[in-house]
A = this chain, B = another copy of it.
């Protein structure tokens, strides 16, 4: 079954829901699901509407034009996506494989709806994984001196491949502010700690030293401020005084990969609206 998904945000006002649902009904759509959220602090209203695409009797541009006209008086901020447009994802990695295999396996078994036309790394180490899955691998070694030039080339690659989403699957380089802004809210990073605890480097070692009883991982949109972007997903596992820093790293890998792929899935499925550096995540 094919879907059309609208994501909408605006100021709250009476009649919004009735108005929007009437619009789609008048255009002969079956509304498969309609989810809303009202932020009581900002009085903002958020909505996700999923339509049966087989009800679409006009062209996509006509639908969009028509909805744009409808949306204007309400000052709706909106976007639409069609489930037959498969998102194109670039994966960036460094040296560990757990997140990478997880994404590739899920994509291959049909649990992540996307294309993965390329894998980018700052190291040559994981080319063999790309080879296993027959995906082109591009290696851009990074030094302080060449970083700007290398990022420029990466951006060109992303452009050329029409990339919709960049996934930093334990890519251990900080992207420049310029890079991040070019793919605004289109870069998902996995941080190996339960943010806002242990921002920055060596989180497992710091978790060990602090003696926490749970360790976690956080998937978030990359923004100009390191590890400060909107949080998409988090999870934790219990550890104890018996867990060495190496144990924390190993236990953490399983958390990282499931948190990251859950975030990717929510993004690909158009479940996410960002507001005020927080995410609203509608169910799928």
- A residues neighboring B (CB under 8 Å): 14-15, 17-19, 21-22, 24-25, 28, 30-38, 40, 96-98, 101, 105, 108-109, 111, 132-133, 194-198, 209-214, 216, 230-236, 238, 240-242, 244, 250, 253-254, 258, 277-281, 283
Residues on the B chain within 8 Å of A211, using CB: 230-231, 277-279
Residues on the B chain within 8 Å of A17, using CB: 21, 25, 31, 34
In the complex, what distance in Å separates the CA atom of A24 from the CA atom of B14?
10
Residues on the B chain within 8 Å of A36, using CB: 33-34
In the complex, what distance in Å separates the CA atom of A281 from the CA atom of B243?
12
Residues on the B chain within 8 Å of A132, using CB: 132-133
Given A18-B25, A36-B33, A242-B283, does the pair A210, B194 have CB atoms closer than 8 Å?
A: no
A242 & B24 in contact (Cβ 8 Å cutoff): no
Residues on the B chain within 8 Å of A28, using CB: 14
B18 & A241 in contact (Cβ 8 Å cutoff): no
Q: How far is the CB of A216 from chain B (nearest CB, A)?
A: 7
Q: Taking the full assembly, how many copies of this chain does it contain?
A: 4
In the complex, what distance in Å separates the CA atom of A64 from the CA atom of B30?
27
Q: How far is the CB of A256 from chain B (nearest CB, A)?
A: 12
Chain A interface, >50% SS class: mixed
B195 & A196 in contact (Cβ 8 Å cutoff): no
Given A111-B253, A234-B212, does the pair A241, B194 have CB atoms closer than 8 Å?
A: no
Q: How far is the CB of A38 from chain B (nearest CB, A)?
A: 7
Residues on the B chain within 8 Å of A111, using CB: 250, 253
- CB-based closest 8 A-B pairs: A211-B278, A18-B25, A197-B197, A132-B132, A18-B21, A213-B234, A241-B280, A101-B105
In the complex, what distance in Å separates the CA atom of A87 from the CA atom of B74?
39
Residues on the B chain within 8 Å of A40, using CB: 244
Given A109-B96, A214-B234, does the pair A281, B240 have CB atoms closer than 8 Å?
A: yes
A214 & B236 in contact (Cβ 8 Å cutoff): yes
Given A21-B18, A210-B196, does the pair A236, B236 have CB atoms closer than 8 Å?
A: yes
Q: How far is the CB of A272 from chain B (nearest CB, A)?
A: 10
Closest residue of B by beta carbon distance from A55: B14
Residues on the B chain within 8 Å of A196, using CB: 197-198, 210, 212
Residues on the B chain within 8 Å of A198, using CB: 196
Residues on the B chain within 8 Å of A101, using CB: 101, 105
Residues on the B chain within 8 Å of A232, using CB: 213
Ordered by A's residue number, 21 sampled pairs between the chains whose C-beta atoms are within 8 Å are A14-B25, A17-B31, A17-B34, A18-B18, A19-B25, A21-B21, A21-B22, A34-B34, A37-B242, A97-B105, A111-B253, A194-B197, A195-B210, A196-B212, A210-B278, A211-B278, A212-B234, A213-B234, A214-B234, A214-B235, A236-B236
